Amino acid sequence: MPSMIYRLQRIIQEVSRSPDIQHALDSIAQSLIADLVADACTIFLATDDNPPSLILKSSYGLNPDIVGNVTRNFGQGLIGLVAAKAESINLTNALEHKDFILVPDSGEDKFPIYLGVPIISHRKVLGVIAIQRAQQVFNEDDEAFLTTLASQLATSIEHAESQGRFKLIGSKKLDSTTHVVRGVASLPGMAIGHALVLNRGVKLESVPDKKVKDSLPEIKSFDDAVRKVQEELTQQAERMRASLPEEECALFLAYAQMLNSGSLIDDTYRRIEQGSWGPASWRDTVEEHAQVFERMEDEYLAARASDIRDLGHRVLRALMLERDTPIDFPDHTVLVGDEITATDLAEVPPDRLCAIISTHGSSSSHVAILAHALGIPAVMGVPNLPVNQMDGLKVVVDGYSGCAYIDPDENILAEYGAYLEEEEVIERDLLSLKNEPAFTLDQHRISLYVNSGLMADYTPSLKSGAEGIGLYRTEIPFQIRDRFPTEEEQYHMYNKVLKTFSGMPVVLRTLDVGGDKPLSYFPIKEANPFLGWRGVRITLDHPEIFITQLRAMIRANIGNDNLQILLPMISGQAEVADSLELIHRAKYEIEEEFGHDIEMPKIGAMIEVPSAVYQIEDICSLVDFISIGTNDLTQYLLAVDRNNENVAELYSSLHPAVLKAMRQVVEGAKHTDTPVSVCGELAGDPLGVMALLGMGINSLSMSVGSLLRAKKVIKSFNLDEMEVMFSEAIMKTNPAQVRELYIEKLNSKGLGGLIRVGK
Q: Is 640 in contact with 651 (CB distance < 8 Å)?
A: yes
Nearer to Mg ion, 383 or 604 (CB): 604
156 binds, among ligand PEP, Mg ion, none (CB under 5 to 8 A by kind): none
Nearer to ligand PEP, 404 or 637 (CB): 637
Q: Is 467 in contact with 448 (CB distance < 8 Å)?
A: yes
Q: Is 696 in contact with 675 (CB distance < 8 Å)?
A: no
Nearer to ligand PEP, 155 or 631 (CB): 631
Sequence-distant (6+) residues with CB within 8 A of 676 are: 625, 626, 627, 628, 665, 666, 669, 697, 699
* CA distance between the termini of the chain: 64
d(CA 357, CA 619): 40
Residues in contact with ligand PEP by the rule CB under 6 A:
369, 471, 473, 512, 608, 629-632, 679-680
Which H helix or E strand runs over 503?
none
Q: Which of 179, 666, 652 is nearest to 385 (CA)?
A: 179
Q: Which of 161, 104, 164 is nearest to 127 (CA)?
A: 161
d(CA 43, CA 480): 49
Catalytic residues: 366, 679
Output the smallest distance, CB 683 to ligand PEP, in A. Answer: 9
- In the shown chain, the binding pattern of residues 621 to 660 toward Mg ion, with x for contact by CB under 5 A and - for none, equals --------x--x----------------------------
What sign for the dihedral angle of Cα 270, 274, 277, 280?
Answer: negative
Nearer to ligand PEP, 465 or 680 (CB): 680
Q: What are phi and psi of 30, to 5 degrees?
A: -65, -45
> Which residue type sits at 662?
M
What sign for the dihedral angle of Cα 260, 263, 265, 266?
Answer: positive
Output the smallest distance, CB 634 to ligand PEP, in A. Answer: 8
Output the smallest distance, CB 215 to ligand PEP, in A. Answer: 47
Give the CA-trace dihedral at 705, 633, 582, 671, to 10 degrees.
Answer: 100
Going from the C-alpha of 491 to that of each of 474, 495, 542, the distances in angstroms are 12, 6, 19
d(CA 399, CA 746): 19
- In the shown chain, the binding pattern of residues 583 to 622 toward Mg ion, with x for contact by CB under 5 A and - for none, equals -------------------------x--------------
Nearer to ligand PEP, 286 or 616 (CB): 616
Nearer to ligand PEP, 437 or 572 (CB): 572
Output the smallest distance, CB 749 to ligand PEP, in A. Answer: 27
Nearer to ligand PEP, 196 or 569 (CB): 569
249 binds, among Mg ion, ligand PEP, none (CB under 5 to 8 A by kind): none
Could you tell me how many residues of this chain bind Mg ion (CB under 5 A)?
A: 3
Output the smallest distance, CB 545 to ligand PEP, in A. Answer: 18
Beta strands in 329-399 (DSSP E): 333-337, 353-358, 378-380, 394-398
Q: Which of 22, 104, 112 is nearest to 70 (CA)?
A: 104
Q: Beta strands 190-197 and 394-398: pairing type? A: antiparallel
505 binds, among Mg ion, ligand PEP, none (CB under 5 to 8 A by kind): none
Output the smallest distance, CB 603 to Mg ion, in A. Answer: 17
Output the smallest distance, CB 706 to Mg ion, in A. Answer: 17
Sequence-distant (6+) residues with CB within 8 A of 248 are: 240
Nearer to ligand PEP, 18 or 365 (CB): 365
Output the smallest distance, CB 496 to ligand PEP, in A. Answer: 20
Beta strands in 338-483 (DSSP E): 353-358, 378-380, 394-398, 403-406, 447-452, 469-473
35 binds Mg ion (CB under 5 A): no
The alpha helices in 241-298, defined as continuous H runs, are 246-258, 263-273, 278-294
Q: Which of 53, 58, 72, 60 is nearest to 107 (CA)?
A: 60
DSSP state of 457: G
Task: Count helices and strands (H / E) in the chain.
Answer: 26, 22
Nearer to ligand PEP, 530 or 614 (CB): 530
Nearer to ligand PEP, 314 or 642 (CB): 642
Q: Which residues bind Mg ion (CB under 5 A)?
A: 608, 629, 632
